[in-house]
């Protein structure tokens, strides 16, 4: 028997177009250190530190006990799809119908499906930088070409319609928005979002708005582009229960979009995963239809953690940090350390932080910038203090 090496196995051209997720790579390296007994402070993981609320867990247990354990409709049960559109209508004033919704196995899956049905070979996709790692690779997997839009860090990584307009060509098919943003925590104002969506609509360009962090918006002005009813025919809103209800491991996300797009996404899903897990669908109904105080409680705590970590980071000599207005990431600028000794890149800094200070962060290169590291503050204040102290020491020694 021979062992197949990666060179000997002829994989498809399309799988070779993409890279493994940078965030997953950090998680794996931190896990490895932890398994060797190292005390790692984890600022790498992109997930809430809260447990899933009890009433959601109870609904899943009841689903198992009630034998709700069979296949369901591919796009989700009517009960779940109705819960998705009702929640969205109640919170944002949208008017989607059940048929214009689809439940998928996580927001990432909904996004993957949406991009596969909208982007063809050679299509251009405008992607604001810094971007969430998976956008670029999912677009490439579909055969599309990413056109990167540099945002303005001095204005909190702002993206405006004017900046988008400069990049539009006859091949532009899609613009991907992500507000609040992973990794920068930047929140686009309702006015900027509306202008970008209006421009795209006018030019016949699609918008996918990844709103996985839409409830983790600390500006007091929570907004979904799904409320812009007049532009709906070129718009897909992607949502997720992962962050909103601390349900990352359950894998439940959704999309809202025009009927032909939702139907095409369901067709693709019917030939891959089929329905999201039946039990999780019942839990999702409980999350969406049940009490929403848990969301508010988590949001309030994230704001305190955000302030704590940003103050801590800004107090480290050489570190600059814009104020993130949503999600649970800070994106400090560490460019003043580049060129000191052997430190040449954000990856070098993140590597040394992990291996020498035992603090896991994600280097900015994975998000398209070279001067930053991503710090997830979805953890306790005690952990934040421990990690910040270690960072302070290591950076001072560079």
Ligand X SMILES: Cc1ncc(COP(=O)(O)O)c(C=O)c1O
How many degrees, rounded to 5, is the angle at CA 74 between CA 279 and CA 47? Answer: 50
Closest CA to 174 of 198, 150, 139: 139
Closest CA to 139 of 151, 157, 152, 127: 127
Minimum CB separation from ligand X for residue 290, in Å?
A: 19
Of 327 and 357, CB closest to ligand X: 327
Of positions 123, 124, 192, 210, contacts ligand X by CB under 6 A: 210
Of positions 248, 273, 289, 336, contacts ligand X by CB under 6 A: 248
Contacts of ligand X in 277-336 (CB under 6 A): none
Residues in the chain: 398
Minimum CB separation from ligand X for residue 66, in Å?
A: 26
Minimum CB separation from ligand X for residue 337, in Å?
A: 26
Decide if residue 215 touches ligand X (CB under 6 A): no
Closest CA to 252 of 378, 45, 75, 67: 75
Minimum CB separation from ligand X for residue 393, in Å?
A: 29
Report d(CA 20, CA 10) in Å as an integer. Answer: 18
Burial class of residue 360 in the structure, from the number of CB atoms within 10 Å of its CB (0-12 exposed, 13-18 middle, 19+ buried): buried
Decide if residue 182 touches ligand X (CB under 6 A): yes
Of 63 and 111, CB closest to ligand X: 111
Minimum CB separation from ligand X for residue 230, in Å?
A: 26
Decide if residue 377 touches ligand X (CB under 6 A): no
317 three-class SS: coil
Closest CA to 236 of 259, 203, 216: 259
Minimum CB separation from ligand X for residue 130, in Å?
A: 11
Report d(CA 108, CA 248) in Å as an integer. Answer: 11
Decide if residue 212 touches ligand X (CB under 6 A): yes
* Phi-psi region at 76: left, alpha or beta (left = phi > 0; alpha = psi -120 to 50): left
Decide if residue 217 touches ligand X (CB under 6 A): no
Minimum CB separation from ligand X for residue 394, in Å?
A: 26
Decide if residue 242 touches ligand X (CB under 6 A): yes
Of 108 and 140, CB closest to ligand X: 108
By rule CB under 6 A, what count of residues binds ligand X? Answer: 13
Mask: binding to ligand X, 43-72, rule CB under 6 A, as x and -?
---x--------------------------
Report d(CA 149, CA 92) in Å as an integer. Answer: 27
Minimum CB separation from ligand X for residue 326, in Å?
A: 11
* Span from 87-95, 100-108, 139-147, 357-365 in contact with ligand X (CB under 6 A): 100-108
Residue 57: beta bridge partners? none
Q: What DSSP string runs through 13-74?
A: TTGGG----HHHHHHHHHHHHHHTT---EE----S-SSPPPHHHHHHHHHHHHTT--S---T
Of 106 and 226, CB closest to ligand X: 106
Mask: binding to ligand X, 103-142, rule CB under 6 A, as x and -?
---xxx-----------------------x----------
Minimum CB separation from ligand X for residue 27, in Å?
A: 11
Of 276 and 395, CB closest to ligand X: 276
Closest CA to 101 of 246, 244, 284, 283: 284
Report DSSP state, residue 218. Answer: -
* Span from 71-79, 240-248, 292-300, 369-377 in contact with ligand X (CB under 6 A): 240-248
Query: Crossing angle, helix 278-289 and helix 54-65, to 10 degrees?
Result: 140
Closest CA to 59 of 87, 36, 83: 83
Of positions 44, 48, 226, 253, contacts ligand X by CB under 6 A: 253
* Span from 90-98, 102-110, 155-163, 294-302 in contact with ligand X (CB under 6 A): 102-110
Contact set with ligand X (CB under 6 A) = 46, 106-108, 132, 178, 182, 210, 212, 240, 242, 248, 253
């Amino acid at each position: 028997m021979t062992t197949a090496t990666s060179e000997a196995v002829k994989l498809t051209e399309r799988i070779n177009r993409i890279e493994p997720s940078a965030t997953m790579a950090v998680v794996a390296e931190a896990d490895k250190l932890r398994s060797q007994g190292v005390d790692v402070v984890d600022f790498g993981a992109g997930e809430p530190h809260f447990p899933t609320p009890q009433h959601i867990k109870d609904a899943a247990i009841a689903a198992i006990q009630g034998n709700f354990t069979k296949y369901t409709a591919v796009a989700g049960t009517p009960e779940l799809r109705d819960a998705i559109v009702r929640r969205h209508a109640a919170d944002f004033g949208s008017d989607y119908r059940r048929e214009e919704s689809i439940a998928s196995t996580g927001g990432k899956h909904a996004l993957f499906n949406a991009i596969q049905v909208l982007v063809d070979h050679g299509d251009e996709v405008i992607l604001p930088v810094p971007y969430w790692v998976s956008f670029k690779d999912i677009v490439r997997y579909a055969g599309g070409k990413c056109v990167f839009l540099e945002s303005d860090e001095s204005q909190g990584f702002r993206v405006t319609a004017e900046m988008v307009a400069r990049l539009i060509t006859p091949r532009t098919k899609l613009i991907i928005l992500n507000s609040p943003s992973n990794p920068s925590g930047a929140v686009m104002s309702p006015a900027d979002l509306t202008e970008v969506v209006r421009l795209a609509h006018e030019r016949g360009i699609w918008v996918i708005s990844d709103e996985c962090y839409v409830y983790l918006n600390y500006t007091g002005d929570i907004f979904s582009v799904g409320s812009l009813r007049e532009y709906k025919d070129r718009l897909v809103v992607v949502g997720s229960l992962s962050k909103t209800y601390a349900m990352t491991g359950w894998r439940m996300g959704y999309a809202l979009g025009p009927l032909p797009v939702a139907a095409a996404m369901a067709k693709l899903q019917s030939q891959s995963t089929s329905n999201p897990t039946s039990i999780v669908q019942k839990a999702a109904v409980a999350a969406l239809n049940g009490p929403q105080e848990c969301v508010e409680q988590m949001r309030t705590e994230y704001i305190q953690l955000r302030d704590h970590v940003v103050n801590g980071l800004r107090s480290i000599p050489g570190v600059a940090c814009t104020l993130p207005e949503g999600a649970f990431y800070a994106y400090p600028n560490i460019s003043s350390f580049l060129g000191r000794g052997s430190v040449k890149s954000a990856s070098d800094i993140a590597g040394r932080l992990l291996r020498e200070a035992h603090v896991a962060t994600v280097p900015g290169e994975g998000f398209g910038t070279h001067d930053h590291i991503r710090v997830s503050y979805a953890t306790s204040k005690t952990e934040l203090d421990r990690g910040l102290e270690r960072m302070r020491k290591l950076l001072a020694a560079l």
